[in-house]
Amino acid sequence: YLGLQTETIGRSVYFYESVSSTQKIAKEYAMNGANHGTLIVADEQTEGRGRMVRKWHSPKGTGIWASFILRPDIQLQHAPQLTLLTAVAVVLAIKDVTNIIPEIKWPNDILINGRKVCGILTELQAEEDRIQSVIIGIGINVNQSTENFSDDIQMIATSLKIELEQTVNRTEIIQKLCYYLEQLLNLYISEGFPPIKRLWETYAISIGKQITARTLKGTFEGLALGINDEGVLLLKQANGEIIEILSADIEIK
Instruction: Determine if 98 is a binding residue for ligand BTN (CB under 6 A).
Output: no
**By CB under 6 A, what part of segment 23-42 binds ligand BTN?**
23
**By CB under 6 A, what part of segment 200-239 binds ligand BTN?**
none
Q: Is cis: bond before 194, omega within 30 of 0?
A: no
Tell the smallest beta-carbon distance from residue 13 to ligand BTN (Å).
14
Tell the smallest beta-carbon distance from residue 61 to ligand BTN (Å).
14
Angle between helix 194-203 and 79-98 (nearest 10): 50
Helix (H, G, I), strand (E, B) or coil at 23: helix
**By CB under 6 A, what part of segment 161-200 binds ligand BTN?**
none
Instruction: Determine if 120 is a binding residue for ligand BTN (CB under 6 A).
Output: yes
**What φ, ψ does residue 47 adopt, rounded to 5°?**
-135, 50
Contact predicate 8/36, CB 8 Å: yes
Tell the smallest beta-carbon distance from residue 142 to ligand BTN (Å).
12
Tell the smallest beta-carbon distance from residue 197 to ligand BTN (Å).
21
Strands 13-16 and 38-42: parallel
- Within 10 Å of residue 206's Cβ, how many Cβ atoms? 21
- Within 10 Å of residue 236's Cβ, how many Cβ atoms? 14
51 has binding-site annotation: yes
Query: Which residue is closest to ligand BTN by CB?
Result: 119
- What does the buried/exposed string (b/e) look like for 139-150 if buried means 16 or more CB atoms within 10 Å of the residue's CB? bbbbbbeeebbe
**What φ, ψ does residue 117 adopt, rounded to 5°?**
-110, -20
With CB under 6 A as the contact rule, the residue among 4, 66, 184, 224 that binds ligand BTN is 66
With CB under 6 A as the contact rule, the residue among 34, 91, 112, 121 that binds ligand BTN is 121
> Nearer Cβ to ligand BTN, position 7 or 18?
18
**What φ, ψ does residue 8 adopt, rounded to 5°?**
-125, -50
CA gap 109, 104 in Å, rounded? 6
Tell the smallest beta-carbon distance from residue 176 to ligand BTN (Å).
17
> Nearer Cβ to ligand BTN, position 18 or 237?
18
Q: State the binding site for biotin.
A: 45, 49-51, 116
State the residues that interact with ligand BTN by CB under 6 A: 21-23, 45, 48-51, 54, 56, 58, 65-67, 109, 119-121, 137-139
Q: State the binding site.
A: 45, 49-51, 116
